[in-house]
Amino acid sequence: MKIIETVREMQSVADAMRSAGHTIALVPTMGYLHEAHLELMRVGKRHANKLIISIFVNPTQFGPSEDYERYPRDPEGDLEKARSVGVDIVFMPPVEEMYPEGFQTTVKVEKLTQHLCGLSRPGHFDGVTTVVCKLFNITKPHIAIFGQKDYQQLAVISRMVMDLNMDIQIIGVPTVREADGLAMSSRNAYLTQEQRPSALSLKKSLELADEMLRKGETDAKAIVRAVEALIKEHPFTEIDYVSICDPVTLEDMDRIDQEALLALAVKVGHTRLIDNQILKRK
């Protein structure tokens, strides 16, 4: 496994792999790798014969009051996990390599970012699309793999790739959960033992919504109220949003007469968690 820290070397190596006829898959990460990241890598290995992962905690997607400085980091552990699944190259640039002095360009997706996390984290998705666009230009992948737990991020990146005619296939991988049902996230490390049962209210609320729909409830507002009530029953929880929306446009839906996305963002203590599920009428 090769570790690369500079843009110039990464581009050179990617060019050489493409010239040799290899198919490149990229899994962008912010490190502190867990089983969900490894599953993305396994998917990448199935779709390509060269796998690159990036490990870069991107400062431009964190707001002023967010957790950039304390975001969990474990570079040695990350490299060990990457080796275990057969990663070929780890791209680990320092911040000044990605954002040199004078950097002033951003990539912005307009409408999709005006919903869900885009409302409560202004500027977040500009940081995401800018860094992902840079990573695509640096690692030159044929395929890029993202988790569906970050549904809006997947939708925004897919839109960027489509709108800018990037010759990259985007693959979304279903959410990987821990044994108790909590969606895997690097931020789960922040949860105390006391807060953990409250964090599980997100998964329970998705199951409640699915059950209500199965019993014939199609009023989106009624389901949202029930989900909010369930979450609020648990201590330490503070709801950012509960939304039932169109899976493509992310615009709110009044009635579930087709596929709908139920998306949640909830703070449990100081830890912001997200989860989602596609709701389908049976």
> Which residues are annotated as catalytic?
37
DSSP summary character for residue 176: P
Whose structure tokens read 């970012």?
113
**C-alpha torsion sign, points 231, 232, 238, 243:** positive
**Which amino acid is present at 115?**
H
* Closest-CA residue to 122 (of 64, 186, 56, 71): 64
Give the C-alpha distances (Å, rounded to integers) separating 129 from 126, 133, 148, 198, 276.
Answer: 5, 6, 16, 32, 21
What gap in Å lies between CA 4 and CA 9, rounded to an integer? Answer: 7
What gap in Å lies between CA 220 and CA 135, rounded to an integer? Answer: 38
Beta-bridge mates of residue 90 = 3, 53
**Which amino acid is present at 261?**
L
* Contact between residue 95 and residue 59 where contact means Cβ atoms under 8 Å apart: yes
**C-alpha torsion sign, points 198, 269, 235, 245:** negative
